[in-house]
């Protein structure tokens, strides 16, 4: 993979600062060239790399990252410097995030002005990339619970299985559903049923590790994808889920319980066979409603 060797960037004798002295930056050929490059992608990481390639021609830095509330991206080969310099980026009064430069020497006034001018060309492409990313995430998200949806699960299980085969780690699945959920909807209405699903999603959240992934397929069917899994970690999560459901006052009010089926990936598995084995374990578990973990 290509990296940006920004510390080794050779600077010409040309005074780049003069490129930005015009009061009509929209007519500046460098700015237009940069904007044209930035408008070729909606991928945040690629956008940041394109911007860094241009900026590194005029300002020396060893690393560059973009940080926002729920987003973080860094250029390829980014390294921290002796000094970190932060630039807040806003467009039409909306805060987009901040660029963080890794520097080995203090930023001069002229170089700071250059970066501020370059940032002006970066703002609209950045906003477009962030909007696109948000749209993608919403397309992968269950609107009721905020968990990943079936489409996102299909992507993540494929990635996790591929990674596990490469690194010789285990991947585990826990498939969950609520017992007698239809009766709750029929008796108390869908508003209560929806709130039960939200509370169950919250119970799942507090039961898993940061590295685990949660999904809702629709109805009352949920899945936990556990990477770098072991029998002990699966058992801990399995029992945490039961404990979190029992501890939730709203779920207790409507006597909600859940059934869980768990399994590990086999090397010969496809995504379909892996999921189906966990799903079969779930339905076998529903026959006796026992909380004990039984791996298949």
Whether residues 163 and 245 share a domain: the answer is: yes
Catalytic residue among 142, 177, 212, 220: 220
Q: What distance in Å separates the CA atoms of residue 17 and residue 15, rounded to the nearest whole number?
A: 5
What pLDDT sits at residue 32?
Answer: 79
SS (H, E, C) the chain: CCCCCHHHCCCCCCCHHHHHCCCCHHHCHHHHHHHHHHCCCCCHHHHHHHHHHHHCCCCCCCEEEEECCCCEEECCCCCCCCEEEEEEEEECCEEEEEEEEEECCCCCHHHHHHHHHHHHHHHHHHHHHHHHHHHHHHHCECCCCCCECHHHHHHHHHHHHHHHHHHCCCEEEEEEEECCHHHHHHHHCHHHHHHHHHHHHHHHHCCCCCCCEEEEEECCEEEEEEECCCHHHHHHHHHHHHHHHHHCHHHHHCCCCEEEEEEECCCCCCHHHHHHHHHHHHHHHHHHCCCCCCEC
What pLDDT sits at residue 26?
Answer: 43
**What's the whole-number mean pLDDT along residues 269-280?**
95
220 is catalytic: yes
Whether residues 128 and 160 share a domain: the answer is: no
How many domains does the chain contain in total?
2
Q: What distance in Å separates the CA atoms of residue 38 and residue 125, rounded to the nearest whole number?
A: 6
Report whether pLDDT(18) > 60. no
- Domain assignment present for residue 296? The answer is no
**What's the whole-number mean pLDDT along residues 34-40?**
88
Q: What is the pLDDT of the chain when averaged over all its residues?
A: 87
What pLDDT sits at residue 293?
Answer: 61
Lowest-pLDDT range, 27-31, 144-148, 256-260?
27-31
What pLDDT sits at residue 112?
Answer: 92
- Domain assignment present for residue 1? The answer is no
- Domain assignment present for residue 144? The answer is no
Q: Select from 216, 211, 218, 256 the least CA-distant residue to 237.
A: 211
- Domain assignment present for residue 295? The answer is no
Q: What distance in Å separates the CA atoms of residue 136 and residue 152, rounded to the nearest whole number?
A: 10
Report whether pLDDT(25) > 80. no
Report whether pLDDT(153) > 70. yes
Report whether pLDDT(4) > 50. no
Whether residues 158 and 284 share a domain: the answer is: yes
CATH number at residue 173: 3.30.70.270
Token pair listed for 250: 């709203």
What pLDDT sits at residue 28?
Answer: 66
Q: What distance in Å separates the CA atoms of residue 85 and residue 160, rounded to the nearest whole number?
A: 36
What pLDDT sits at residue 222?
Answer: 97
**What's the whole-number mean pLDDT along residues 162-191?**
94
Count, residues in the chain: 296
Q: What distance in Å separates the CA atoms of residue 293 and residue 229, rounded to the nearest whole number?
A: 15
Q: What distance in Å separates the CA atoms of residue 290 and residue 183, rounded to the nearest whole number?
A: 20
- Domain assignment present for residue 293? The answer is no
Whether residues 16 and 129 share a domain: the answer is: yes
Report whether pLDDT(220) > 50. yes
Report whether pLDDT(277) > 90. yes
Q: What distance in Å separates the CA atoms of residue 261 and residue 286, rounded to the nearest whole number?
A: 9
- Domain assignment present for residue 109? The answer is yes
Instruction: Find the domain containing 47 and state its range.
Output: 6-139
**HSE-up of residue 212 (Cα within 13 Å, Cβ side):** 23
What pLDDT sits at residue 80?
Answer: 87
């Amino acid at each position: 993979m290509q990296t940006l060797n920004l510390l080794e960037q050779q600077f010409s004798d040309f005074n780049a600062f003069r490129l930005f002295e015009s009061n009509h930056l929209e007519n500046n050929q460098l700015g237009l060239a940069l904007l044209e490059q930035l408008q070729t992608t909606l991928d945040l990481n690629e956008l940041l790399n394109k911007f860094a390639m241009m900026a590194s021609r005029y300002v020396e830095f060893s690393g560059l990252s973009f940080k926002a509330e729920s987003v973080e991206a860094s250029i390829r080969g980014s390294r921290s410097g002796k000094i970190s310099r932060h630039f807040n980026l806003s467009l039409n009064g909306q805060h987009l995030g901040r660029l963080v430069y890794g520097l080995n020497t203090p930023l001069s006034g002229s170089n700071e002005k250059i970066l501020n001018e370059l940032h002006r060309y970066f703002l609209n492409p950045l906003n477009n990339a962030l909007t696109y990313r948000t749209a993608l995430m919403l397309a992968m998200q269950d609107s009721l619970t905020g968990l990943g949806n079936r489409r996102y699960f299909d992507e993540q299980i494929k990635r996790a299985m591929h990674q596990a085969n490469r690194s010789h780690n285990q991947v585990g699945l826990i498939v969950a559903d609520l017992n007698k959920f239809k009766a709750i909807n029929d008796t108390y209405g869908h508003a209560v049923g929806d709130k039960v699903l939200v509370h169950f999603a919250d119970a799942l959240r507090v039961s898993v590790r940061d590295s685990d992934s949660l999904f809702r397929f629709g109805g009352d069917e949920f899945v936990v994808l556990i990477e770098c899994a072991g029998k002990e970690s699966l058992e801990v999560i399995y029992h945490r889920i039961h404990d979190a459901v029992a501890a939730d006052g709203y779920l207790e009010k409507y006597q909600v319980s859940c059934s869980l089926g768990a399994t590990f990936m086999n090397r010969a598995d496809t995504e379909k066979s892996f999921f189906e084995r966990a799903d079969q374990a779930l339905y076998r578990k529903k026959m006796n409603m026992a909380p004990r973990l039984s791996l298949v």
